[in-house]
Structure 1
Amino acid sequence: MGYAVLHIDKARGNDSAMSAHIERTFVPNNVDASRTHLNRELVQFPANVTNRTEAIEHRISTANIYRKVADNQVKALRIILSGSHEDMLKLESDDRLGEWCDSTMQWLYTTFGKENVVAATLHADEETPHIHATVVPIVQGERRKAKTEAENGKRKYRTKKGKVRLCADDVLTPKKLEEYQTTYAEQMKAFGLERGVYGSEAKHRTNMEYYKELLKETKQKQLEEEELIKKIKELEKQAGKLRVKGTLYSLFGNTELDKAEKRVGELEREMEQQRFLSEKENAEIRKEVILLQDTVKAKDKTIAEQQKEIKVYEEERGFIKRFFHSFYLLLNIRLMLRKMGFDDDTVVKMHQRQVAVRGTATAYSGMYKRNFTEENAELRITTNEKRQPILTINGLSVSDWCEQKWQQLIHRNRSQRL
């Protein structure tokens, strides 16, 4: 039997680098592009949420957390789930990878709560199939420290029961981490995977650590190659001198040897001149590099200033989303309608007068990674059961409409094959 693989670590900030890796907006060297179409999104995002980063913020803003979330607070946990390389490839060849994904998602939902598992993606285009899951660590009850103080008689006030908190430390206690490994291994028994050795000193490498090691190995190989080329040139030079002093001397005598040595000297001077020119060219190149570095620094400064502006915008956006959620949803609806070609006057009329308009509907599905379009569709701004504004297309929510278009596409392709 192989081993079940479960690795959990904390995400810092908005975790944009990991989002880029998971969503393949940045493609690392170890990805087989011919298999990327086999990747799957295993969690459907809520309405008006299009990516992992937005899904994290959406869960936090709708969880009724009683305390303000700090900028440096851990907002999400990154979880990698897989198995031994040979066993995962066998599951794929036996057409059981989908069954394994379903079982893994069931364990995630049971362990962390379905509403807290905001994203999960199957990567089948790397060496070993695996799932990247994202969990928002929302818990209920007292902090562990407060509970300990109460037990020791130090606390002098009462706290509200059942309050909702964002706390990664409560989810990642040593005891719970051990339980996760055990329960996940039990879930994986049906696939021939078992728990690793208790107390093992083996360490999991994160993606970043793997890429750093890969880059280090590549640079080391380049240095070794350069050293070998240098040694070969030196040996060829020595062999050339021996050939002149040995073979030419014995065949032609002193006069011809002198001519040969003179020619060797000329060649060496020509080589020296070439080296001088190369060094001169290198000096020019270094000057250009310095100028480019200055340009890059200036661009970096500009980017840093823009990032500050973006951060301010994101903070304001987060504030609106948290305290004026209906207004935030309406802004997203306006953005979608603007992309479809409708002006603000039309959007206001649709919202205030509850009237429908017809036009070309276009929406992107994060689940199916594609845009869907329909001409002469009926678009309407209405409210859901929570009295929150939503956009409907032909009477369906955007996500349901995308699902309908996907099923129609599959049916059409099957009919064409028949």
Structure 2
Amino acid sequence: MGYFSLDIKKAKGTSDTTQSDHIERKIIPKNADPTRTHLNRVLVEYPDGVHGRDEAIAHRLNTAGIRRKITHDQVRVVRVVLSGTHEDMMNIQEKGELDEWCSDSIQWLQATFGKDNVVAAHLHMDEKTPHIHAAVVPIVTGERRKAKKEQTDGKRKYRKKTNSVRLCADDLFNRQTLVAYHDNYARVMAKYGLQRGVRGSEARHTTTMQYYRDLKKKNEVLETETRLLQEKKTEAQEELRQVKAEIRTDKLKCVATDTATALASSVGSLFGSGRMKSLERRNEDLQDRILELEDEARQRERQQAEQIQEIRNAYEQQHRKLSEFTDFVRRYFPYVEKLMPVINFLRERLGFNDGIIRRLCEFKEVGIKGELYSSEFNRSFDTRHSVCSIKQDENGKFDFKIDGVSHVNWFRKKMNEFREAIGIPKPRQNRSMKL
């Protein structure tokens, strides 16, 4: 015969939201199976417009008719958890008596604490053992328990209405009433083979926090033992590997000995036979072929070296001719090197073709028309007819001229004409331009 569990605790504080979140599974605890949460049930229906355990507690406090102000240290709700030993509860479930057990437990709660005071009850099926979480609002009527005692002792100082509604957990939950609750609930649970605990037993209910602390310690011990076993397993595997390696080495030695013996006997049988002479001739042929291949490789290396030398000689000869030509030009046509900046300017900046540049380098005047681009002003200027030429100044430098003036001054003149045409005054400073 197993035991039932009747755990009663006063909730501290003005709100029991944390416990409500746990009971209503707004927060899934570690010991709950999410795949079974849908089996949880609400056993007490809420009033119209009330949703959830917290609202049910507040609704009862607001509608009970309490006249005195509820202080912050008063107990607003009492948590009651009903269950039994795991084996017996699972037996009740297997027999199909779980619904009846729930109904009897709820009826006992309502008969003991008042139907209106039992504001919420939830059956949890997603944890190890089925159990009920009930919420009882400790509202009573009549005189205080302490007031009756004072009257008995002759210390009554005032009279109080006997039918007044009060919030008082001490009247419902004290040492005498708790013993009576267990006795009464035992009568209800007797039909399920559940009995109350031993009266006066030193056994204490393990809190959830203590349960998790003990579980953590057990896990730490198991982890330590597992680690030690794993280390021993690793050592055993290493020893096994070494033994296998030694066995394998011994086998290889035996095989090598047998092979050497067989080879020696085979070679010995070849001596004095025609097969041995045939192998010797074959070996000589292979040696000759190796010598031929080595000779061919040396010939290829010599041919490649000769080709590389021919290419190097041709390059050096061409480079020598180019150097001689460059020296010749510098000696007899020294102005060519000085013309290079002008030629690059004509080709890259102004976009002149080779024919015009060649005639200009012959120091001839060339007539042009069209657009000429100025990098100084970042724009093109149109000319219907201009005469271009290359002239050498007193310092020996060559300058490209347009209409008899330096191209720099020609572009600036065109820019000034453009500014005058649109009404912009001339700039005070002139900027020089490099080729």
- Report the TM-score, using the length of structure 2 for normalisation: 0.51
The letter of the residue matching 2:168 is C
1:114 alignment partner, SS class: coil
Residue 26 (structure 2) pairs with residue 2 (structure 1): no
The match for 1:56 is 57
Could you tell me how far apart the structure 2 residues matched to 1:74 and 1:116 are? Answer: 13
Residue correspondence of structure 1 range 3-402 to structure 2 within 5 A: 3-13=3-13, 14-222=15-223, 225=226
Could you tell me how far apart the structure 2 residues matched to 1:196 and 1:16 are? Answer: 31
Quote how far apart the aligned CAs of 1:167 are: 1.1
* 1:248-307 CA-partner distances (Å, limit 9, x unpaired): xxxxxxxxxxxxxxxxxxxxxxxxxxxxxxxxxxxxxxxxxxxxxxxxxxxxxxxxxxxx
1:115 alignment partner, SS class: coil
Could you tell me how far apart the structure 1 residues matched to 2:67 and 2:221 are? Answer: 52
Could you tell me how far apart the structure 2 residues matched to 1:216 and 1:67 are? Answer: 48
Could you tell me how far apart the structure 1 residues matched to 2:136 and 2:168 are? Answer: 12
Q: Cα RMSD between the aligned structures? A: 3.0
Could you tell me how far apart the structure 2 residues matched to 1:221 and 1:48 are? Answer: 50
Could you tell me how far apart the structure 2 residues matched to 1:229 and 1:190 are? Answer: 50
Could you tell me how far apart the structure 2 residues matched to 1:87 and 1:202 are? Answer: 20
Could you tell me how far apart the structure 2 residues matched to 1:20 and 1:175 are? Answer: 32
Could you tell me how far apart the structure 1 residues matched to 2:37 and 2:108 are? Answer: 25
Larger Rg: 2
Quote how far apart the aligned CAs of 1:105 are: 0.7
- Report the TM-score, using the length of structure 1 for normalisation: 0.53
1:208 alignment partner, SS class: helix
Given the superposition, is the C-alpha separation of residues 12 and 216 from structure 1 closer, same or farther in structure 2, using an over 3 Å criterion? farther
Q: Which runs of 5+ in 2 are unaligned?
A: 242-435
Could you tell me how far apart the structure 1 residues matched to 2:188 and 2:155 are? Answer: 41
Quote how far apart the aligned CAs of 1:135 are: 0.4
Given the superposition, is the C-alpha separation of residues 238 and 96 from structure 1 closer, same or farther in structure 2, using an over 3 Å criterion? closer
Could you tell me how far apart the structure 1 residues matched to 2:61 and 2:158 are? Answer: 27
The letter of the residue matching 1:147 is K
* 1:348-403 CA-partner distances (Å, limit 9, x unpaired): xxxxxxxxxxxxxxxxxxxxxxxxxxxxxxxxxxxxxxxxxxxxxxxxxxxxxxxx
Quote how far apart the aligned CAs of 1:155 are: 2.5
Q: Which runs of 5+ in 1 are unaligned?
A: 241-418
Quote how far apart the aligned CAs of 1:2 are: 1.7
The letter of the residue matching 1:103 is D
- Structure of higher RCO (CA pairs closer than 8 Å, 6+ residues apart): 1
Quote how far apart the aligned CAs of 1:225 are: 4.9
